[in-house]
Amino acid sequence: MIILNLKRQPTVPLEAEVISPDTVRGLKHAEICELPVYHGKRRLRLDEFFDVHGDGADEVRIRGDLNKVRWIGRGMSSGSIQIDGNVGMHLGSGMTGGAIEVHGDAGDWVGAEMKNGLIRISGNVGGQIGGGYRGSLSGMRNGTILIGGTAGLEVGLRMRRGTIVVGGRVRDFAGLQMKGGTIVLLSGAEIRTGAWMNRGTILSLQPLALMPTFAPSGRCDPAFLRVFASYLNRLGIQIPTDGGFYERFVGDRSLPGMGEICVWQSAQ
Amino acid sequence: MSTLRIKGGKVYDPANGINGQIADVCIVDGKIVADAPGATQIDATGMVVFPGGVDVHTHVAGGAINFARAMTPEDHRRTQAFIRSQSRRSGLGGFAPTTFATGYLYAGMGWTTVNEAAVPVLSARHTHEELSDIPILDKSCLVLMANNEIVLDLIEAGEYERAKDIVAWYVSAAKAYGVKAVNPGGVAAWKWGGDAKQLSSPIAGYHKLTPGDIVGQLAQICDELKLPHPMHLHCNDLGAPGNVATTLETMKHLEGRRAHIAHMQYHAYGGDDWDTMCSASDQLAEYFNAHDNMTTDAGAVLFGDTVTITADGPWQHLLYKLTGRKWGNLDVENETGCGIVPYTYKPNNLVNSVQWAVGLELLLMIDDPWRVFLTTDHPNGACFWRYPEIIHLLMSADFRNECMKILPTKIKGRIKLPELTREYSLYEIATIISAGPARALGLHQKGNLGVGRDGDVIVYEPSNDIAYMFGHPRYVIKAGEIVIDDGDIRATPEGHEYIIQPHYDPSTDDFLRPLFEDCYTMSFENYPVEMERIENPHVQDCTQ
């Protein structure tokens, strides 16, 4: 295991995509210390900002307030990163495998354009979780993102596959231009959920203010729900399958899209 | 005094009928000379020597390509990055390379002259600023005239002589090199929600003016003004199944006049709709072969991602409807319009497969390499840095057959390519990439290794991998200076801009001024581009 303790707070964003099991695996302590990071436009050594303990391994642990540290775990393919503290933008962007766990909050673009793997964040996150970067045709293509707290704008922006679960309240435009995959809103969302969605599923356990371009299509008991619920159960998340029903809406009909928003109604 | 001798290479110089003879090419102060005793030598023994490449039709500067750059950040993230160094500026490659990168990429494969094919007069100033930021290359640009409402009104009113003066005034004001016509009347009609697909139907917004009138009269004007490059025409009804009828009719309107038909591939389709679309390149090639008043360029398509940009707004709206991808459309006051749609040509798509085949068919079925040139209508059919792949396809029938195996089975009977066995020789390649386009542009100093011409030379190391050979020249020499040496950018000299200043009646200013006050958001005095704004202008004679 390699442990990084933040010793100096960056004054401007620190781009640290080298903090990834793929990069440090097999490196000696000294080699890790001299990995390059970009403090604004200046290229510096990793150990200018972090106390580095241990040699390269599949497991990376980071401690400190990493609010300004960006691109951690970028494109990682395996191994794990554990972060104790808050972390900055683009965490796990484009990752293809492995796991990232954050005990704290995270910034925007968590798991943006990721292809596989698991990201779990206990606190709140910013916007564009699992989203596609500006100009891209699609966001995350697979994998799972679990958020304990709240999330910002455009969650799952243009996502194509995979799962996003948000425990707290989600802001506007969840599932914007969604093309596939599943978003689970345990505490509902603010306005314009599913705007421009083409395919995919948004499950909400709380009532939603829906746009007029979503057409009611009756009660449903999605066939995939029990399998999906047992998958989430293994990850420690419960969604109801019995004792009520899902009210289904189809949209966004302004496209016209064939996505679905399913809102849980308990029986009593 | 800089002197250079390229010693002992196999020289292909079609302008002088030199076909693979071993010879020295000597350059003194940027010009080819017969001999240069004591010159710095490049040993080109066993290598192939071509005149520098000339692109007759590309989009590398101005409002539209800049809009395309802004619209495709997803491409910038993944593409080749040029890192700033002692000899070069930073930049990005990709579908719509940045200005400096455009120069590096063109020069990197041996092209030393390019013609930016579509400039609204209103954005001419911007275009020249960008052209001056494209290093190494010599440049020229064409201004859009076929949807200019002042010109169209005059043609409709039958005021031919006045229209001629106005065109000459516009070309002079824009510091352009010639006249481009895009979808004549169609872009003007688009502003009424329409298009102009028939040459003989009146255009929306006009009483009796037809696209045929515009095509014929603009071509006549270019001829009478003695422009070195004739009217450069993007025909009506681009991209649509069955548009070969429109293209043939356009060519008939051009009889007795010179014209350059741009990206003919997009105008050579048969069939009635997308399901029945097929190649009609044989009809076009047959007509074209029999009428030597025209030149053309292929506008070939290669499979892959790109971004399409054109002044043809209505077509781009249709393309957006077909793809559902992001799009942009611009209205350039009373001059023209513009549309941008990122696009992916897929080999499993029947329409795209037909397009791929048609571009190659035209290059192979038009007999005279002096009249058909290699282009992809960059970036519309593919990016210019993929030209070597097309050269490979032209030089090897086996490779073409190999590539055809991935096309959908439904393609059978829709294309002519499987029947074509012609293979281009090096001499013919030198013609379609250099000597031919230079002649069509009236740039007599280019595409020619004769004494007194510009010392722009490509030296290739022969290889069985044709695409590699043409993509990685051993040396590229611009005006006698080695700019590329084995893939390294050695020098980045500034290029020239070729412009023409055709004559117009002095009363033209007084005629235009009130129209300007009426129609434009810009004041008349601010409109013409001052000569001082052009870096290294080279005024080409247009009185012969």
pLDDT above 80: residue B432: yes
Identify which of B71, B77, B325 has the shortest CB distance to residue A133: B77
Contact B73 A137 (CB under 8 A): no
Q: List Cβ<8 Å contacts ≥24 apart for A201-204.
A: A201/A259, A201/A260, A201/A261, A201/A262, A202/A174, A202/A175, A202/A178, A202/A259, A202/A260, A202/A261, A202/A262, A203/A239, A203/A246, A203/A262, A203/A264, A204/A261, A204/A262, A204/A263, A204/A264
The pLDDT of residue B2 is 83
- CB-based contact, B75 to chain A, within 8 Å: yes
- CB-based contact, B422 to chain A, within 8 Å: no
CA distance A6 to A23: 19
Share above pLDDT 70 across residues of chain B, in percent, rounded to a whole number: 99
CB pairs under 8 A between A and B: 14
CA distance A246 to B34: 87
Contact A137 B325 (CB under 8 A): yes
pLDDT above 70: residue B544: no
The pLDDT of residue B332 is 84
C-alpha distance from B13 to closest chain A C-alpha (Å): 45
pLDDT above 70: residue B41: yes
Residue of chain B whose Cα is closest to the Cα of A255: B324
CA distances to A143, A147, A184, B23 from A124, rounded to whole Å, are: 19, 7, 15, 73
Tokens of A52: 């580095």
Whole-number average pLDDT of chain A: 95
- CB-based contact, B73 to chain A, within 8 Å: yes
Contact A135 B71 (CB under 8 A): yes
The pLDDT of residue B364 is 97
**Chain B residues 321-340 within an 8 A CB cutoff of chain A:** 325-326
Residue of chain B whose Cα is closest to the Cα of A135: B74
DSSP annotation string for B78-128: HS-EEPP-SS---EE-SSS--HHHHHHHHHHTTEEEEEEEEE-GGGHHHHH
**Mean predicted confidence (pLDDT) in B470-481:** 97
**Mean predicted confidence (pLDDT) in B285-294:** 96
Contact A134 B73 (CB under 8 A): yes
CA distance A74 to A258: 32
The pLDDT of residue B543 is 64
- CB-based contact, B77 to chain A, within 8 Å: yes
Q: Other C-beta atoms within 10 Å of B98: how many?
A: 22
Share above pLDDT 90 across residues of chain B, in percent, rounded to a whole number: 87
**Mean predicted confidence (pLDDT) in B145-164:** 95
Give the rounded distance of the alpha carbon of B171 from its chain centre.
18
C-alpha distance from B74 to closest chain A C-alpha (Å): 5
User: Residues A94-130: pLDDT tens digits?
Assistant: 999 999 999 999 999 999 999 999 999 999 999 999 9
Handedness of CA B67, B70, B76, B80 (dihedral sign): positive
First to last CA, chain A: 51
The pLDDT of residue B191 is 86
**Mean predicted confidence (pLDDT) in B508-513:** 94
C-alpha distance from B71 to closest chain A C-alpha (Å): 7
**Mean predicted confidence (pLDDT) in B336-362:** 94
ipTM of predicted assembly, 2 dp: 0.74
User: Mutate which of B69, B72, B74 to test chain A, going by most A C-beta atoms within 10 A?
Assistant: B74
Residue of chain A whose Cα is closest to the Cα of B73: A135
pLDDT tier, A242 (very low <50, low <70, confident <90, very high otherwise) = confident
- CB-based contact, B72 to chain A, within 8 Å: yes
Contact B72 A135 (CB under 8 A): yes
C-alpha distance from A34 to closest chain B C-alpha (Å): 22
Partner residues linked to B457 by β-bridges:
B51, B477
Top-confidence residue, B213 or B523: B213
Residue of chain B whose Cα is closest to the Cα of A113: B74
pLDDT tier, B336 (very low <50, low <70, confident <90, very high otherwise) = confident
Chain B partners within 8 Å of A135 (Cβ) = 71-75, 326
Query: What angle do helix axes B508-519 and B160-174 make, rounded to 10 degrees?
Result: 80
**Mean predicted confidence (pLDDT) in B58-72:** 92
Residue of chain A whose Cα is closest to the Cα of B327: A135
CA distance B262 to B381: 12
User: Residues B178-207: pLDDT tens digits?
Assistant: 999 999 999 999 888 889 999 999 999 999
pLDDT tier, B367 (very low <50, low <70, confident <90, very high otherwise) = very high
pLDDT above 90: residue B63: no
Residue of chain B whose Cα is closest to the Cα of A139: B74
- B361: buried, middle or exposed (CB in 10 Å: 19+, 13-18, 0-12)? buried
User: Residues A5-35: pLDDT tens digits?
Assistant: 999 999 999 999 999 999 999 899 999 999 9
- A43: buried, middle or exposed (CB in 10 Å: 19+, 13-18, 0-12)? exposed
Q: Does residue B176 contact residue B125 with C-beta atoms inside 8 Å?
A: no
**Chain A residues 106-145 within an 8 A CB cutoff of chain B:** 133-137
User: Mutate which of B77, B307, B326 to test chain A, going by most A C-beta atoms within 10 A?
Assistant: B77
pLDDT tier, B520 (very low <50, low <70, confident <90, very high otherwise) = confident
- Name the helix (H) or strand (E) containing A82: strand A80-84
- Name the helix (H) or strand (E) containing B294: strand B294-297
pLDDT above 90: residue B87: no
Handedness of CA A64, A66, A72, A73 (dihedral sign): positive
- CB-based contact, A245 to chain B, within 8 Å: no
Residue of chain B whose Cα is closest to the Cα of A138: B74
Chain B partners within 8 Å of A137 (Cβ) = 74, 325
Share above pLDDT 70 across residues of chain A, in percent, rounded to a whole number: 100
Chain B partners within 8 Å of A197 (Cβ) = none
C-alpha distance from B327 to closest chain A C-alpha (Å): 11
Whole-number average pLDDT of chain B: 94
C-alpha distance from A196 to closest chain B C-alpha (Å): 12
Q: Does residue A7 contact residue A14 with C-beta atoms inside 8 Å?
A: no
pLDDT above 80: residue B1: no
Q: Other C-beta atoms within 10 Å of B17: how many?
A: 8
Contact B73 A133 (CB under 8 A): yes
pLDDT above 70: residue B527: yes
Q: Does residue A90 contact residue A109 with C-beta atoms inside 8 Å?
A: yes
Chain B partners within 8 Å of A157 (Cβ) = none
Handedness of CA B542, B261, B13, B134 (dihedral sign): positive
Chain A partners within 8 Å of B325 (Cβ) = 137
pLDDT above 90: residue B254: yes
pLDDT above 80: residue B542: no
- How long, in residues, is chain A? 268
Q: Does residue B42 contact residue B5 with C-beta atoms inside 8 Å?
A: yes
What's the whole-model pTM score?
0.89
Residue of chain B whose Cα is closest to the Cα of A256: B324
Query: What is the b/e burial string over B432-446, where b = at least 16 CB atoms within 10 angstroms of the residue's CB?
Result: bbbbbbbbbbbbbbb
User: Residues A183-234: pLDDT tens digits?
Assistant: 999 999 999 999 999 999 999 999 999 999 999 999 987 778 889 999 999 9
The pLDDT of residue B311 is 84
C-alpha distance from B326 to closest chain A C-alpha (Å): 9
Least confident of B284-293, B336-345, B363-372: B336-345
User: Residues B216-228: pLDDT tens digits?
Assistant: 999 999 999 999 9
Residue of chain A whose Cα is closest to the Cα of B76: A135
C-alpha distance from A247 to closest chain B C-alpha (Å): 30
- B254: buried, middle or exposed (CB in 10 Å: 19+, 13-18, 0-12)? buried
CA distance B359 to B375: 9
User: DSSP assignment, residue B533?
Assistant: G
User: Mutate which of A71, A137, A177 to test chain B, going by most B C-beta atoms within 10 A?
Assistant: A137
Secondary structure of A192-249 as H, E, C letters: CCCCCCCCCEEEECCCCCCCCCCEEEEEECCCCHHHHHHHHHHCCCCCCCCCEEEEEE
- CB-based contact, B71 to chain A, within 8 Å: yes
Residues 6+ apart with CB under 8 A from B412: none
